Amino acid sequence: MEMVGYYAAMLAAMLVGVQAAAWGLAELATRYAANHALQATRVEGGTAAAGQSDAATVLAQLNTNLVTQPTVSVTRGPATATVTVKGTAIKVIPFLRIPVGTTVNGPVETLDPVP
């Protein structure tokens, strides 16, 4: 009878491990999408719309199941560009909602004319 308790504990531990792996992959996906979008936004001639489109494309190409309900926020100022990608990690354990998100920023590229 005590084996039933061990099996339940092992199953719970495996589910937690798989959920942790899913969270890690979702976090990695948001980080990759945010960094990729930042590069499209901060370059000379880049726009916030280009970064927004780039992040959406990267998330769609990675796997739409890793990050559910993704939201992307891109701002480009005169000196700094900021990209935030948020969403929810895929659920392995029912009723467990784990948010994931990444915010990255970097300087806007400006090219000074050669005198």
Q: What is the pLDDT of residues 11-49, one digit of tens each?
A: 999 999 999 999 999 999 999 999 999 999 999 989 999
Does residue 113 lie in a domain region? Answer: no
Residue 41 counted as domain residue: yes
Domain interval for residue 44: 2-107
How far is 33 from 14, CA to CA, in rounded Å?
29
Instruction: Please report whether residue 54 resides in a domain.
Output: yes
Residue 28 lies in a domain: yes
Within-domain flag for 20? yes
Supply the pLDDT for residue 1: 65
Q: Specify whether the CB–CB gap between 111 and 44 falls below 8 A.
A: yes
C-alpha distance across the termini of the chain, in Å: 85
Q: Tell me the whole-structure pTM to 2 decimals.
A: 0.85
On average, the pLDDT of the chain sits at: 91
| Residue 114 domain flag | no
Calculate what percentage of the chain has a pLDDT beyond 90: 69
Taking 70 as the threshold, does the pLDDT of residue 56 lie above it?
yes
What is the number of structural domains in the chain?
A: 1
Least Cα distance to 41 among 28, 52, 33 occurs for 52
Residue 111 — very low, low, confident or very high, per pLDDT cuts 50/70/90? confident
CA-nearest of 98, 101, 87, 104 to 21 is 98
Q: Tell whether 93 is covered by a domain.
A: yes
